[in-house]
A = this chain, B = another copy of it.
């Protein structure tokens, strides 16, 4: 874990890019499992999806901490230290959000969540895919930021869509659902999903900062 004296001074260490890419791939896997899980409503099915997502969450955690450790021991980094830290920790937040959602579905045992749950988790998956592609741009956006800029716009747009889906859903939930305990359960689950799309947009905001600073 400790770098030798020399390796600390090797300029522009490229190791952060593959680590960030790997983290984004864990995010993609995790969002794909979440989308798939939305088709299953039996307790044992939900538990088994939660287990898979939890394993991915731990893998993401390990990767994020490796990035933080490298930041603490590397002298020269390709971008400002806090930008790399922010990229890793916001990606980790998205993975955490997916995990929180699956966990609550498994322990709250709500009634089937329906179309809006599927819609929101599909939006999370689209954001994950977009973030993963954006990681490939980190090495080249200084020369041509157009593609990275487009991913930022896309993340912003998806988040707006998620807001609308969520608002519409909650309005209907309060109008139609009369079982107070179901409201508590489902509202919290959907709120977590909506916050997860926010975290994904935060990744986009950091990418936008990088363009402003470096391109």
Quick one: closest B residue to A174, CB to CB? B108
A31 vs B1: C-alpha distance when bound (angstroms): 35
Quick one: closest B residue to A1, CB to CB? B212
What residues of B have a CB within 8 angstroms of the CB of A181 in the complex? Answer: 174, 178, 180, 183
What residues of B have a CB within 8 angstroms of the CB of A1 in the complex? Answer: 212
Knowing A181-B180, A183-B181 touch, does A73 contact B212 (C-beta < 8 A)? yes
A180 vs B182: C-alpha distance when bound (angstroms): 10
A65 vs B167: C-alpha distance when bound (angstroms): 25
Interface of A is mostly: helix
What residues of B have a CB within 8 angstroms of the CB of A183 in the complex? Answer: 181, 184
A180 vs B1: C-alpha distance when bound (angstroms): 50
Contact of A107 among B171, B180, B185 (CB under 8 A): B171
What residues of B have a CB within 8 angstroms of the CB of A184 in the complex? Answer: 180, 183-184, 187
Instruction: Give A148 Cβ to nearest chain B Cβ, in Å.
Output: 15
Instruction: Give A168 Cβ to nearest chain B Cβ, in Å.
Output: 9
Cβ-based interface call for A213 (8 A) = yes
Q: Are B212 and A170 in contact (CB under 8 A)?
A: no
What residues of B have a CB within 8 angstroms of the CB of A90 in the complex? Answer: none
What residues of B have a CB within 8 angstroms of the CB of A171 in the complex? Answer: 107, 109
Instruction: Give A36 Cβ to nearest chain B Cβ, in Å.
Output: 23
Instruction: Give A100 Cβ to nearest chain B Cβ, in Å.
Output: 12
Cβ-based interface call for A103 (8 A) = yes
Q: Are A170 and B108 in contact (CB under 8 A)?
A: yes
Which of chain A's residues 1-49 have a Cβ closer than 8 Å to chain B?
1-2
A170 vs B108: C-alpha distance when bound (angstroms): 8
